[in-house]
């Protein structure tokens, strides 16, 4: 009996591990916020898997060895959260295991972990966790929560919608907390969808549902659900990340610059910059530079050799890519 129970536990653990392989633990700044919330101003909490965790450099930040991170010249752009912090502060404020934030900085972005999507039970657990953070005054009125996922959605729009609703139901409890729901960029052609990934990773392609005769994409679920909740509360908003990436990609086509890694689902540092500025655009009471900060342009121009897979070949093209991706839409 005990052996059977142990096997069941191990199977459950393995399924959880494989399902959420693209999500990770909170980053150093999130851990710092949990320990000493009163030392920080307003916080943007990213919840999600690979895109929220950060895959701009081609690997998750927490999987870099410390020596690799120290030597990587673009380390400050490793995630959406670190990119936001770099834009606001002009320096990399989180290095591996520590978070050094100036008390003068009014806004901090952190990666807080997975969202629980697409599994209903996992979404329930994350929903409860977020509620606990609010009760413990880790998440405060004035803060923002961002949900963004790009992993295996199980190919079931209806189940995904039910799980997403569990997360968005929190808006009634989290008074004064902004909830941002981002669509997932998906630039794959139909042929590439067949070649690269199963439909469980397609976000813009319509999929059959169990409840409706009309196929719908997972991004459509994001749009419909966020807009439905948005009519109930101004604190729930949709971020059209897919649309922003698609439009920017077309504008850079003549330069042959890519905003995405080869799978066309995970953004590189340019596609990630679009996400970061989309989120920043919702922060009305924080002074956000309307043009790319000089320190950001300099960082990218000085590291052309690291950007060869994006199509960038010279400083001029690098600057064009940054300026096209950096659009504060306040």
Q: Which CATH number fits domain 23-325: 3.40.50.1980, 2.40.110.10, 3.30.70.20, 3.40.50.1110?
A: 3.40.50.1110
Confidence at residue 196, expressed as pLDDT on a 0 to 100 scale: 56
Confidence at residue 328, expressed as pLDDT on a 0 to 100 scale: 72
- Among residues 137, 218, 120, the alpha carbon closest in space to that of 174 is found at 137
Cβ neighbours, 10 Å, residue 37 = 16
CB of 239 closer than 8 Å to CB of 291: no
Residue 102 backbone phi and psi in degrees, to 5? -65, 140
Confidence at residue 8, expressed as pLDDT on a 0 to 100 scale: 34
Hey, what are 147's tokens? 């949900």
Q: What is the pLDDT of residues 35-57, one digit of tens each?
A: 999 989 999 999 998 999 999 99
Cβ neighbours, 10 Å, residue 86 = 23
Residues in the chain: 330
Low-confidence ranges of the chain (pLDDT < 70): 1-24, 93-97, 102-104, 189-199, 212, 329-330
Confidence at residue 131, expressed as pLDDT on a 0 to 100 scale: 95
Per 3-state DSSP, the chain is made up of helix, strand and coil in percentages (nearest 5) of 50, 10, 40
Confidence at residue 156, expressed as pLDDT on a 0 to 100 scale: 86
Hey, what are 89's tokens? 């502060």
């Amino acid at each position: 009996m005990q052996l059977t129970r142990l096997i069941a536990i191990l199977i459950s653990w393995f399924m959880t591990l494989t399902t959420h392989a693209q999500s990770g633990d909170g980053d150093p700044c999130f851990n710092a916020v949990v320990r000493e919330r009163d030392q920080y101003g307003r916080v943007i909490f990213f919840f999600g898997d690979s895109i929220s965790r950060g895959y701009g450099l081609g690997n998750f930040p927490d999987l870099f060895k410390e020596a690799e991170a120290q030597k990587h010249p673009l380390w400050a752009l490793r995630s959406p959260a670190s990119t936001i912090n770099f834009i606001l502060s002009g320096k990399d404020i989180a290095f591996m295991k520590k978070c050094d934030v100036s008390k003068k900085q009014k806004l901090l972005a952190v990666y807080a972990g997975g969202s629980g999507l697409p599994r209903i039970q996992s979404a329930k657990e994350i929903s409860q966790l977020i509620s606990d953070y609010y009760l413990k005054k880790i998440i405060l009125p004035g803060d923002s929560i961002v949900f963004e996922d790009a992993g295996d959605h199980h190919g079931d729009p209806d189940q995904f919608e039910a799980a997403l609703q569990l997360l968005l139901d929190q808006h009634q409890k989290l008074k004064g907390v902004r909830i941002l729901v981002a669509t997932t960029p998906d630039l794959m052609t139909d042929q590439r969808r067949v070649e690269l990934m199963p439909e469980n990773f397609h976000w813009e392609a319509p999929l059959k549902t169990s409840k409706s005769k009309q196929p719908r994409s997972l991004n459509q679920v994001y749009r419909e659900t966020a807009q439905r909740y948005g009519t109930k509360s101004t604190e729930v908003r949709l971020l059209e990340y897919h649309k922003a990436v698609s439009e920017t990609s077309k504008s850079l086509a003549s330069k042959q610059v890519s905003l995405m890694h080869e799978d066309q689902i995970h953004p590189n540092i340019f596609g990630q910059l679009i996400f970061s500025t989309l989120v920043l655009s919702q922060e009305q009471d924080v002074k956000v530079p309307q043009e790319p900060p000089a320190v950001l342009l300099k960082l990218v121009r000085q590291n052309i050799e690291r950007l060869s897979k994006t199509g960038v070949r010279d400083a001029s093209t690098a600057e064009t890519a940054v300026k096209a991706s950096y659009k504060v839409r306040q």
